[in-house]
Structure 1
């Protein structure tokens, strides 16, 4: 019967060696192999997480520096906006007083010159490029300082409020424009601006086209109202400028940029 048994092949011997080797391994050997595998995977995870963290911090800093530049631009633009509106408010009060004066007939040059400037405008252009990028890309979460995010969003709301008041100002000017034809001579008013859109003081002492005090008073009322709206927007811009300054200080403090 032994003569009929087939000799063991190299493959059979190899399998036996593997089986014998596995039998010799105890639970400590398996645990060690598992632990080394786990450690390799975990270290890889930590390394990847660290790289992502560094990338996020780099992007956050870039956004913060860009926000700072936007706020600085806003501060400069608000300063110009405030100065323009303060001067315009004084100008319009002077215009209304001249129109209501008994001596308005000798102040035609000044009246027409100032009346043209009622329509002059200097808007505040909000530097919102960075905040829009953060919002549209869903990247506000990259800013770790939540108090900075909250103040940034509050600042944006106040900018919108100022813009809404400017729209009210424009609507009131439309009313003044519609009524102006009842008081001002169109050709004379048109002559107060040259071909290069610069204001020109008349020299012919142009007169109002009506002596009806009721009509003149109605126009003067609109001018006084515009003056107060303009002054109010100047004050709102002052508050907004202060908010921009405080937000800049907060960002520098929270992100240790000083």
Structure 2
């Protein structure tokens, strides 16, 4: 009977297993580092994209705020004139002005911010990508200013509703309707159309409501002036912190 000799393979040293483990670990670790670096770069690029988008929106906001501030200035002047005419002894001589100013008194000025970028950041969870805490805080504070503006808009809306209820007893509806142009602007009526009443108490009540509307508009104007200043300061802060020219 033939006997076969067993071939004995030499046992691997522990250092061999150690180097195998080390090479495998390094391969996995390097892959992790590469993935981390890629993710970090993507997030950094996205942060830059958001920052540039915010700057564009803020520049647009400063222009829009300048326009609404100018509109408020015109509203305040017209309301001041209307109050004077409603309490004037020569009120019957100013029918055309009264109808024109009376029709415009309840018109509102609404601020429409350019908030595309901040809304995109909120919906996608991108706000966490703004790593600069100083900038992040300033952005939140800037957009939180709209809360107070919305509050004042609500007050003004209620005051304007009350004004309209009073106005129907003072201004003739045919004349009031006739001075509204197709593009929704107001035309000054010709001649000297009379009011429905010249009762002093009724006119004083209307003048008082115009005063309330005027003061609320003044508050809105002040809030928007402050918001415009905040937008300019935020632009400067972002440019300084992110080294943008």
TM range (shorter): over 0.9
Who wins on radius of gyration, i.e. which is larger? 1
Give the match for residue 156 of structure 1.
Answer: 143
Distance in 2 between residues matched to 1:196 and 1:255, nearest whole Å: 45
Distance in 2 between residues matched to 1:93 and 1:222, nearest whole Å: 12
Displacement of 1:28 in angstroms is 2.9
**Partner of residue 222 from structure 2, selected from 235, 238, 242:** 235
Distance in 1 between residues matched to 2:112 and 2:147, nearest whole Å: 11
Q: TM-score, normalised by structure 1?
A: 0.89
Displacement of 1:29 in angstroms is 2.9
**8 A contact 2:99–2:176 mirrored in 1:** yes
Displacement of 1:173 in angstroms is 0.4
**8 A contact 2:106–2:163 mirrored in 1:** no
Give the match for residue 142 of structure 1.
Answer: 129
Q: Structure 2 stretches of 5 or more lacking a match?
A: none
Q: Deviations over 1:104-160 (max 9, x none)?
A: 111111111111111333310122222122122222111111221111111121112
Distance in 1 between residues matched to 2:184 and 2:74, nearest whole Å: 19
Displacement of 1:231 in angstroms is 1.3
SS at match of 2:194: coil
Give the match for residue 112 of structure 2.
Answer: 125
**Partner of residue 96 from structure 2, selected from 109, 131, 139:** 109
Displacement of 1:189 in angstroms is 1.5
Within 5 A, what are the aligned runs for 1:1-258?
Answer: 3=1, 5-7=2-4, 13=7, 16=8, 19-20=9-10, 23=11, 25-258=12-245
Q: TM-score, normalised by structure 2?
A: 0.94
Q: Structure 1 stretches of 5 or more lacking a match?
A: none
Distance in 1 between residues matched to 2:195 and 2:185, nearest whole Å: 22
Displacement of 1:55 in angstroms is 0.6
